[in-house]
Amino acid sequence: MINQVVIKVDVNIENAAWAALSYDEKNRQLFLHQKKTLDTFLEHGAISQEQHDKSLHDLIEKMGIDGKQV
């Protein structure tokens, strides 16, 4: 049996506005959403500061985000 996980990304942007964004703008919005999730995990003690920092670093690298903009 194969389990599927469906993740709905809520970027708080209407579909028409989302469609109008460039690839880089969409990438930035997705990054901010993922960063917010990491921050929430840290706030609630679900992950350690070390795990948060490592995951954030990996996210920045994989998504090609300029670390100065974080």
pTM of the model: 0.71
Average pLDDT over the chain, rounded to an integer = 84
Average pLDDT over residues 40-44: 95
Express each pLDDT in 10-23 by its tens digit: 656 567 787 888 98
With beta carbons less than 8 A apart as the criterion, state whether 28 and 11 touch: no
Average pLDDT over residues 31-59: 95
Task: Supply the pLDDT for residue 6.
Answer: 61
With beta carbons less than 8 A apart as the criterion, state whether 21 and 30 touch: no
**Domain extents for the chain?**
23-64
Q: How far is CA 29 from the centre of its chain?
A: 8
